[in-house]
Amino acid sequence: MIAMCFRYTSDEDKAMMILNDGFLKVFKNIHTFEFKGSFEGWVRRLIFNCISDHFRKENKYLKLMVFEEKEKRSDELVLDSLFYDDLLRLVNKLPGNTHKVFSLYAIEGFNHKEIAEMLDISEGTSKWHLSEARKKLKAMIRNTKTTINHAG
């Protein structure tokens, strides 16, 4: 888990602080683990959420994308091998409002109500754009995985 923290910061103290916060969340929420998917995947998700929360607080240093997941999949392995710039390139390929909504929600941390007001759309439309962005990004990641597998 510390290696995952170091992917987002080279500051050892900051990485340890994030890791400690993450494991505190793990221990506080262990009762919520539903035995669906792997335990490691569940722990990774909580640690990743701590990383995300940390960088949301320090918005100027934000270099994360938040991809919600229901369970651990092979897409995660590809995601782990992609760098921030690669992910940003994929996000930038999203069309118009889908790109805006995803960026505002996943990167900048706005909620659907705030996004709806900013873009003059309904909350439902904001949620639809986020869902559409995730579908498109997952497809792009799968395509990247195929490209990596064929190149390797």
* Per-residue pLDDT tens listing for the chain (152 residues): 888 888 777 889 988 999 999 999 999 989 988 887 788 888 888 888 888 788 777 654 444 444 444 444 445 544 444 556 677 788 889 999 999 898 888 776 778 988 898 899 999 999 999 999 999 988 887 887 555 455 44
pLDDT of residue 27: 93
Shared-domain flag, residues 76 and 102: yes
Residue where a domain terminates, one of 18, 48, 64: 64
Shared-domain flag, residues 57 and 75: no
- Alpha-carbon distance of 65 to 48, in angstroms, equals 10
Phi, psi of 74 (to 5 degrees): -65, -20
pLDDT of residue 108: 67
CB 118 within 8 A of CB 132: no
> Count of domains in the chain?
2
Place of tokens 């994929």: 90
Shared-domain flag, residues 72 and 60: no
Shared-domain flag, residues 57 and 76: no
pLDDT of residue 127: 94
pLDDT of residue 95: 92
Cβ count within 10 A of residue 47: 21
Six-digit token string for 16: 């340890």
- Alpha-carbon distance of 25 to 23, in angstroms, equals 5
Shared-domain flag, residues 42 and 75: no
CA angle 27, 2, 89 (to 5 degrees): 110
pLDDT of residue 147: 54
pLDDT of residue 84: 61
* Class of residue 63 by CB neighbours under 10 A (exposed 0-12, middle 13-18, buried 19+): middle
What is the greatest pairwise CA distance in the chain? 46
CB 69 within 8 A of CB 38: no
pLDDT of residue 135: 92
What is the residue range of 119's domain?
67-152
pLDDT of residue 59: 55
Q: Alpha helix locations (H) across 2-122? A: 2-6, 12-29, 39-57, 74-81, 84-92, 96-102, 112-119
Six-digit token string for 37: 């998917």
